[in-house]
Amino acid sequence: MKLLVLILNKTSYLEDILHAFNEIGIKGATVLDSTGVGRTIADHHSSNFALMYSLRKVIDGGRPYNKTILSVIDDELVEPAIKGVNEILGDLHQAGMGIMFFVPLDKVIGLPKTYY
């Protein structure tokens, strides 16, 4: 089993991704609002950093936050999940799209078998 983590910068694609996950058999996920370190530091520290962040906001479209999707999945769903995300977002290697990774899990307690 794996923990799927998708940090989604393009939040307008959230529903499409959740729908694609459901279609391939990923029935449960947790969606969190998240904020990158640049935004956090800019909100709480120096005006110089805030100025740099403001310029970046103009360049990257002013993205105020991300969505982080977490889901416990069977190993066999890793490749379909990658394919589904790539079909919606394109190449995640492009700057500003997001990041997806998988973490091996030794035990999962409290999750019905129908979810993985």
| pLDDT digits 0-9 by tens, 35-91 | 876 555 555 555 555 555 555 555 455 556 899 999 999 999 999 999 999 999 998
Q: What confidence score (pLDDT) does residue 110 get?
A: 87
The sign one gets for the Cα dihedral 9, 96, 84, 2 is negative
pLDDT in tens, 29-42: 999 999 876 555 55
The answer to whether residue 81 sits within a structural domain is yes
Write the DSSP symbol of residue 35: -
The answer to whether residue 57 sits within a structural domain is no
The answer to whether residue 54 sits within a structural domain is no
End-to-end, the C-alpha distance of the chain in Å comes to 8
Number of domains in the chain: 1
pTM of the model: 0.77
CB 4 within 8 A of CB 100: yes
3-state secondary structure at position 38: helix
3-state secondary structure at position 92: coil
Q: Domain of 102? A: 2-34+66-107
The answer to whether residue 46 sits within a structural domain is no
- Which CATH number do you get for residue 6? 3.30.70.120
Q: What confidence score (pLDDT) does residue 59 get?
A: 47
User: 8: buried, middle or exposed (CB in 10 Å: 19+, 13-18, 0-12)?
Assistant: buried
Between these two residues, 98 and 39, which has the higher pLDDT value? 98
